[in-house]
Amino acid sequence: MTSFASSWLRRPLPRPAARVSVVCCPHAGGSAAFYTAWARLLPPHVELVAVQYPGRQDRLTEPAAETMDALAGAVAEALRADRPDREHVLFGHSMGASVAWETALRLERSGAGPRHVVVSGRPGPHHQRPGTVHLRDDDGLAAELRRLDGTHAALLDDPEVRAVLLPAVRADYRLIETYRPDTTARLHCSLTALTGDRDEEATEADVAAWRSATSGAFGSRVLPGGHFYLVAQVERVVAAVLDVCGASAPAVHPVLP
């Protein structure tokens, strides 16, 4: 793996002999660590590879990506440099769903397309809407995170934590709220769309709109929960991802320390 790829990709449980990489793209304000617990839910021939965006955790001093083109282009470049002999299945939640789709488009154009893309908690390109959350003050931004219930409230109450967390959150919201997808673009690989049955950000109709984002096979699934349904439904989400990998989960699911 090149130094460029290693700056973008994290492997919580390295599996050099794996044949498939499940590449996970985080939500707005999220980090690669969000997917750490998934690693031990995968069989030995499947490796979890989590994308680490700049501007957070060990990349805190780097400027956050300003546009989807810059972000997806960098992720695609990192994946092309990282073990090109492997099959890739891309997964993304919320903003990460658009990152995964845009990355897959770039990989396909370079002849290194993924086996499958799984998008979660995000409307299809035709249903995506601009937003203004990134224009709010810090209290307003924190209120949005509380509403979505994807960030521990105690962290948002700590001024020092907020000072570190919110700049990346604001940058990500600016990126995704000003992003305008090419609604004529189509993947060639198959695509699966997931959402929670109480997710107001991505209704069942919203995620069904991903059907027009690929010329390949399409499937969708609704699971119990709100926008961050995948936290409580992690084993069912991972099972859905493994299904498109042609694999099944291990019989035992130990928890990462």
The closest of 29, 35, 33 to 148, measured between CA atoms, is 29
Would you say 9 and 36 are in contact if contact means Cβ atoms under 8 Å apart?
A: no
CA distance 205 to 147: 21
Which residues have C-beta within 8 Å of that of residue 187, sequence separation ≥ 6? 101, 104, 105, 108, 113, 117, 213, 214, 215, 216
Would you say 197 and 123 are in contact if contact means Cβ atoms under 8 Å apart?
A: no
Active site residues: 94
Instruction: Enter the tokens of residue 178.
Output: 């000003």
Q: Whole-angstrom distance between the N-terminal and C-terminal Cα of the chain?
A: 26
Would you say 48 and 39 are in contact if contact means Cβ atoms under 8 Å apart?
A: yes
Instruction: Enter the tokens of residue 240.
Output: 């859905």
Distances (CA, A) of 61 to 4, 58, 88, 167, 168: 16, 8, 29, 11, 11
Would you say 113 and 103 are in contact if contact means Cβ atoms under 8 Å apart?
A: no
